[in-house]
Amino acid sequence: MKQKTIAILGATGSIGTQALDLVRRYPDRFSAACLTANSSSEKLFALVREFRPQAAGMVCEPEAIPEDLRFCQWFFGPDCSVEVLKAVKPDAALCAITGIAGLDAVWTALDVCSQVLLANKEALVTGGDLVMEKARRLNKPLLPVDSEHSAIFQCLQAAQGNPVRSLLLTASGGALRDWPKEKIDSARVEDVLRHPTWSMGRKITVDCASMVNKGLEIIEAHHLFHMPAEQIQVVVHPQSIIHSMVEFEDGAVLAQLGNPDMRGPIGYAMAYPQRLPYEAKRLSFAEIANLSFAAPDLTRFPALGYAIEALKAGGAMPIVLNGANEEAVAAFLDGRIPFGRIPEILRDALDRVPQRSVSSIADVYQTDADARACALEFIRRNS
């Protein structure tokens, strides 16, 4: 079997380190050809020492590169992920950077790699139309890593060309799922970061608690599977055993199940179309005993409704939602705003940033900058 060379962009993060765990377990199948990270130099140095990539990059340049790590090419600055891809041209890129900061890397990966493994949902939320058009034009597969989208992708293989009635995205409900509205508004950082079923990066964990994450995932699903907002539903499912479902026209609903372990969907994308003989904890229905479901509560979690509204409005609005949310989450994690202000910031940005058509990546960045400025102004005015 030919070894697949993979760039792991965002290598020190939650997705990046789990992908590297699979590279470690399957050295005959995969090699980590490029590794990049934002600022955690000691972590990245340790990974470079272990995986010996051809190129590595860091957004924040460290004071020095250790003598024994000079065997690989190094790149620094915000374009480091784009530069490693161009220098090495690996078979695949795992795009696991958080936020719109990862959009350029996805864009370049489509040019230089034969497969793009996409965890970075914000790249599709902001650049979705352009990215999908480019993927189609170049005939490059964009393989979903997000667990819900991986589940849908797997279920869709049974479609055999038949139309789909709806996609059902499951949601754990996040750390505040059962909290009353007043308590949600003043939830502390440590409450919000206590996710019930998944261990993930801080930004996505906050997004789960506000349910913005599910909103971003509806937009991601719209792009990946060409489905209108009206045909994508959210089902709250606290156990995170059903990763998502597809409903067909005869009423049949197909689901993909598994224990909550991101190495499942990451490995599925890495090995696609094969499946890894991964020794995951097997599903025991007797142990699980019960699976439960509920409709999402848009009164307690209004941001989910705003994301659906942004998708329906189209154009600049999903970019506005994402940019305002990135600023709001950073402000919450820094202690500058209470949790309850996050949906207010999104509402204000959607109301105040003008709608416009988005026909280039430059338009995406301009809209993002306008949304961030609007959010920062709202935060200043209300603190």
| 240 binds, options Mg ion, ligand NAD, none, Cβ within 5 to 8 A by partner type | none
Structure tokens at 106: 């996805």
Distance of alpha carbon 255 from its chain centroid, rounded? 21
192 or 200, CB closer to ligand NAD?
A: 200
When the beta carbons of 44 and 187 are compared against ligand NAD, the nearer one is: 44
By CB under 6 A, the count of residues binding ligand NAD is 30
At 212, the amino acid letter reads V
As to burial, measured by CB atoms within 10 angstroms (0-12 exposed, 13-18 middle, 19+ buried), residue 165 is middle
Residues in CB range of 245: below 8 A, 6 or more apart: 151, 152, 155, 167, 168, 170, 235, 253, 254, 255, 256
Smallest gap from residue 274 Cβ to ligand NAD (A): 22
Q: Do 41 and 58 meet the contact criterion of CB atoms below 8 Å apart?
A: yes
Judged by beta carbon, residue 97 or residue 353, the one nearer Mg ion is 97
Give whichever of 19 and 130 is closer to ligand NAD, judged by the CB atom: 19
The residue among 207 and 348 lying less far from ligand NAD, judged by its C-beta, is: 207
Look-up: residue for tokens 């026209």? 249
Least distance CB 324 / Mg ion (angstroms): 20
Q: What's the rounded Cα separation, in Å, for the pair 169 and 326?
A: 22
How many residues are present in the chain? 383
Stretch of residues binding ligand NAD (CB under 6 A), selected from 36-44, 297-305, 314-322, 342-350 = 36-44
Give, as ranges, the residues between 76 and 115 that touch ligand NAD (CB under 6 A): 78, 81, 96-98, 101
| Secondary structure (3-state) at 277 | coil
- Of the candidates 36, 172, 210, 240, which one interacts with ligand NAD according to CB under 6 A? 36
The span from the CA of 368 to the CA of 372, in Å, is 6
In whole angstroms, how close is the CB of 149 to Mg ion at the nearest point? 7
User: Which residue lies nearer to Mg ion by CB, 146 or 327?
Assistant: 146
Any contact of residue 262 with ligand NAD (CB under 6 A)?
Answer: yes
Could you tell me the CA-to-CA distances from 331 to 126, 318, 322, 327, 368 in Å, in that order?
A: 20, 20, 14, 6, 16
| Residue 7 backbone zone (phi > 0: left; psi -120 to 50: alpha; other: beta) | beta
Output Rg (C-alpha) for the chain, integer angstroms: 20
Which partner, Mg ion, ligand NAD, none, binds residue 108 by CB below 5 to 8 Å per kind?
Answer: none
How far apart are alpha carbons 286 and 304 in whole angstroms? Answer: 33
- Residue 15 binds which one of Mg ion, ligand NAD, none, with CB within 5 to 8 A depending on kind? ligand NAD
**Distance (Å, rounded) from C-alpha 351 to C-alpha 253?**
37
**Residue whose CB is less far from ligand NAD, 122 or 370:** 122
Rounded to a whole number of angstroms, the minimum distance from the CB of residue 174 to ligand NAD is 13
Q: Using the rule CB under 6 A, is 116 a contact of ligand NAD?
A: no
Nearer to Mg ion, 143 or 349 (CB): 143
| C-alpha distance from residue 246 to each of 163, 169, 226, 274, 291 (Å) | 11, 9, 13, 21, 18
Q: Which token pair is 193?
A: 């970061």
97 binding partner (options Mg ion, ligand NAD, none; Cβ < 5 to 8 Å by kind): ligand NAD
* Segment 198 to 237, residues that bind ligand NAD, using CB under 6 A: 198, 200-201, 203-204
The only residue of 4, 5, 7, 10 in contact with ligand NAD, by rule CB under 6 A: 10
Estimate the share of the chain in helix, then strand, then coil, as percent rounded to the nearest 5: 50, 15, 35
Q: Are strands 30-37 and 55-58 parallel, antiparallel or unpaired?
A: parallel
CB of 47 to ligand NAD, least distance (A): 10
Per CB under 6 A, the segment of 33-41, 63-71, 275-283, 295-303 that binds ligand NAD is: 33-41
Residue type at position 24: R
Taking alpha carbons only, the member of 327, 199, 182 closest to residue 262 is: 199
Shortest-Cβ-distance residue relative to ligand NAD: 13
Question: Rule CB under 6 A: which of 118-147 touch ligand NAD?
Answer: 119-122, 146
Of the residues 83, 146, 220, 348, which one makes contact with Mg ion according to CB under 5 A:
146
Where does this chain bind Mg ion (CB under 5 A)? 146-148
Where does this chain bind ligand NAD (CB under 6 A)? 9-16, 36-38, 40, 59, 78, 81, 96-98, 101, 119-122, 146, 198, 200-201, 203-204, 262
